[in-house]
Structure 1
Amino acid sequence: MLPVSIHYLLIVFAALALLGVIFEDVIHLDKAKVTLFFGTLSWLFLFIFQSGVDADAVKEQFSESLTEISQLWLFLIAAMTFVAYLNKKGMIQNMIYWILPRKMSERRLVYLTGIFCFCFSSLADNITATLVSVTLIMSLNLPRRKMIRLAALVVFAVNSGGVALITGDVTTLMIFLAGKVSVVDLLILSIPAGFSVLVLSMLLSRQMHGTIQLQYRPSAARGVDVAIAVIFLSTILLTIIGNAIYGIPPVLTFLAGLALMFLVSHAFDREKEEDPILDYIRLIEFDTLLFFLGVLLLVGMLKEIGVLNGLLTVYQILPVEWANLAMGIMSSVIDNVPLTAALLKSGIDMSEGQWLMLTYAVGVGGSLLIIGSAAGIVAMSKIGGLTFGRYLRQLIPLCFAYGIGYLGTMAVANWWIS
């Protein structure tokens, strides 16, 4: 049995790690170092102060956490390598040139960004969608203030699109596999989710008054670059199909796509000696991976000591609809995957419509804070100057759009289910 003093000390470790992330730009200490330190320290304390049967439970829980972390790491390495290669070869900039008009207002850019992120993340996973979307907006060389506003839209739109299909978000897939909602329910959910993105786009575009003139001209694409771009898009598509039909883990499909990328490059790229494709793995920002590692270690620890289960008391205090909303707000601080897992295992009795509300709440609620979702963490790692505090300045429009989306979900769920 874990001593009570150690139990509370572990909670303090998690709180200190969170404060380290929040005040990163004040203490000038990288968030990856803070979360990794407290994440590993927490598990060391668990192993030291647990005994007997409890020690075996700790080992089992640590192995489960490590498995989840390793899958995330491998997936990120594969996705980031694709994006790093295509970005350096100019393929992503070419895509901008093909999709966007040569001249447009910044307000139009905001709406196009929201629509693109929402649609793309419904098909691809949130991390891939964020990587591609952030790379797109960074290439426009906007002022930092406007870039952060667009980044907030990207995070919200990516998470909103992710709840619309089982391929877009892990928590949506978990709730679907548990038999709580159907595919048709999720398609209906895309209506209020998409509307909330438009609402946020309208709010964020109010201070965007300039005009953008795209100066970029598409570079000549080599055959091998086009082939790798096709492999990347095919990998995303096959990930969706393979997971939906055969239950293939997304990480396996992406690793297969990465391996195929290496083989194609070796066979057709005559410049491989000057620009080895394996070098692109070195372009990955491993600070991001270490940050994920620290965060997931902390979340696994909180799950092990039962803190996440204690959150379920909210349903004993509030009506189910508002408890679901509270869970969504909590997901901006606590990872939504273990939070959803705890809710699914708790035996809470909810209607199909109420489960649909929870799907939206935990899927989009993480957008309220930059640390609340994988999309936010990826965006923070890629965009210079995007800190917790600067993202927090967008909290009012984010909360308003989130509230509109949740109320819309309640209305649609009551209309559709009834």
Structure 2
Amino acid sequence: MSAVLLCLVALGFVSIVVEDVVHIDKAKTTLFFGSLVWVLYFISPPAGETREALMLALDDNLLDIASLWLFLMAAMTFVAYLSSKGIIDGIVNRLIPERMSERQLMLLTGLFAFCFSSMADNITATLVCIAILLNLNLPTDKLLRYVVLVVFSVNAGGTALITGDVTTLMIFLADKVEIPHLLLLSLPAFLAVASLSLMLSRGLDGQLVLEKKEVHINGGDKVVAGLFFATILSTIGGNILFGIPPVLMFLFGLSLMFMVVQFLNRDEPTLEYIRKIEFDTLLFFLGVLLLVGMLKELGVLAYFPHLYDVMPPLAANYVMGLVSSLFDNVPLTAALLNSGIEMTLPQWLTLTYAVGVGGSLLVIGSAAGVVAMSKVESLTFGSYLKYSGYLLVAYSVGFAGVLGVSALL
């Protein structure tokens, strides 16, 4: 049965790759295979597994999924409101000059995504960045380049902060690194983003002429926009000071938005904005996380620590970054930490960078990539894979940069 389940999980991921061939929405196929493997897991459980143990495993996975679902729902509702009120257009008008080259836009996009994801979570940063790019009405082939850069940049942006990436926080809590050491990762992470920006800007020689629109934003919408950024900051602060889960703070911020709009404009149907979010995105997340959860239950991730027995730690860390584009980096990092492997401080820093940024190498390797694929119709597994060479070079540049700054310690 374990072999059957592994084959079905593989088929689930293959269905994402061949979406353009079979013309079946990836949300449908991943949900089908994701739920099927768990049904079969209960019908024919591993030897010695009790029903209570099976329910505990399912509940743990559903808790992770529910947290991500609710967080994504809250963030997408916020962005849907801000976009419909023209606030995203207002940001475009303020940040982007009326005339600029496409290469300048590429560098500006990478910088903005990198910095914004350092303050916000990857999902929120991706949603905002893509909303801005879609408002520019770029040609499809050029839009893909900018979206690929956004996915890579938001993953790189949070690597150096314990609030920016869960795996960074896990390695910090395990006393493998300290905050001053982590901050050193900002430089090589940005170097990776800059190198990818330069590579993706090759052949972009056009000029972008932005038609400035007069956007009138009333006082109430400005209050909601301020509440959105206050929610982001309070999510970070609440998690650091009191350990409040980010999903709880974002749900509280969303409820405040509903109340504020209710008192400012009683005729505003705020709950309608929940219906505007793309639920196929949420279903896709559900299917993917069910598949990843099954891999964890089957013990697949437990094999990766053995890689350190046959390879030098630095080489193994580099490979772990590549592996994190296929497997969820959180259970992967947990498996490495629980294995008791011994590494030096520079080696732990390279692992922190690798599992944080490596998920960008495939579009399904990170939450940012999955969100982007659901928001941009032309972004598929295959179209993203075309830039895999550039992404691998940028990832390698950042990895080498981490070795360089580690030499300063």
Q: When the two structures are superposed, what TM-score results if normalisation uses the length of structure 2?
A: 0.98
Checking the alignment, whether the CA contact within 8 Å between 1:325 and 1:358 is kept in structure 2 is yes
1:85 aligns with 2:81: yes
Residue in 2 that maps onto 1:370: 363
1:48-103: CA deviation from partner (whole Å, max 9, x where unpaired) = 11265443322211111011111101101110000000011110110111111111
Contact 1:192–1:409 (Cα < 8 Å) also in 2: yes
Cα deviation, residue 270, structure 1? 4.3
Residues in 2 aligned to 1:177 and 1:120: alpha-carbon distance in whole angstroms: 24
Letter in 2 for 1:411: G
Q: Could you tell me how far 1:107 is from its partner in structure 2?
A: 0.4
Is this contact kept in 1: 2:304–2:336, CA < 8 A? no
Q: Is the 8 A contact 1:65 1:297 kept in 2?
A: yes
Q: Distance in 1 between matches of 2:265 and 2:172?
A: 43
**Cα distance in structure 2, aligned partners of 1:270 and 1:34:** 41
Note if 1:361 corresponds to 2:357.
no
Is residue 39 of structure 2 the alignment partner of residue 44 of structure 1?
A: yes
Cα separation, partners in 2 of 1:87 and 1:210, compared to 1, 3 Å: same
Once residues 327 and 317 of structure 2 are traced to their aligned partners in structure 1, the CA distance between those partners, rounded to angstroms, is 14
User: 1: CA distance between counterparts of 2:21 and 2:221?
Assistant: 42
Deviations 1:175-220 (CA, angstroms, capped at 9, x unpaired): 1222221111121000100111111111111111111111132411
- Whether contact under 8 Å (1:192, 1:405) holds in the other structure is yes
Does residue 171 in structure 1 map to residue 164 in structure 2?
Answer: no
Tell me if structure 1 keeps the 8 A contact 2:113–2:125: yes
CA deviation map 1:225-281 (0-9, x unaligned): 111100000000111111111111100110110000000010001442xxx010000
Q: How many residues align?
A: 408
Give 1:17's match in structure 2, choosing from 9, 12, 16.
12
| In structure 2, C-alpha distance between the alignment counterparts of 1:160 and 1:400, rounded to whole Å | 14
Instruction: Assess if the C-alpha contact under 8 Å between 1:93 and 1:218 holds in 2.
Output: no
Partner of 2:163, secondary structure, is: coil
Q: Does 1:338 align with 2:331?
A: yes
Paired residue for 1:321, among 305, 314, 337? Answer: 314
Q: 2 CA distance for matches of 1:344 and 1:52?
A: 26
Alpha-carbon deviations, 1:382-412, whole Å to 9, x = none?
Answer: 0121111111111111111100001111221
Q: How big is the shift at 1:166?
A: 1.4
| Segment drifting more, 45-54 vs 276-285 | 45-54
The answer on whether the counterparts of 1:299 and 1:338 sit within 8 Å (CA) in structure 2 is no
Q: State whether residues 92 and 132 of structure 2, in contact with CA within 8 Å, keep that contact through their aligned partners in structure 1.
A: yes
Structure 2: tracts of 5 or more residues without a match: none
Aligned Cα root-mean-square deviation (Å): 1.1
- How far is the alpha carbon of 1:352 from its aligned partner? 2.0
Cα deviation code 1:333-391 (max 9, x no counterpart): 11111111111111111222211111110111111111110000001100121111111
Which of 117, 123, 126 is residue 119 of structure 2 equivalent to? 123
Q: For residues 9-408 of structure 1, what are the structure 2 equivalents within 5 Å?
A: 9-50=4-45, 52-272=48-268, 276-408=269-401
Give the ranges of 4+ consecutive aligned residues of structure 1 lying more than 6 Å apart after TM superposition: none
Amino acid at match of 1:310: Y
| Partner SS state of residue 277, structure 1 | coil
Give the share of equivalent positions with the same residue, in percent. 55
Q: Provide the C-alpha distance between the structure 2 equivalents of 1:207 and 1:19, rounded to a whole number of angstroms.
A: 32
Would you say the 8 A contact 1:10–1:42 is kept in 2? yes
- Say if 1:270 and 1:60 are closer, same or farther in 2 by CA, change over 3 A: closer
Distance in 1 separating the partners of 2:347 and 2:148: 27
Asked if structure 2 preserves the Cα contact closer than 8 Å seen for 1:181 and 1:356, the reply is yes
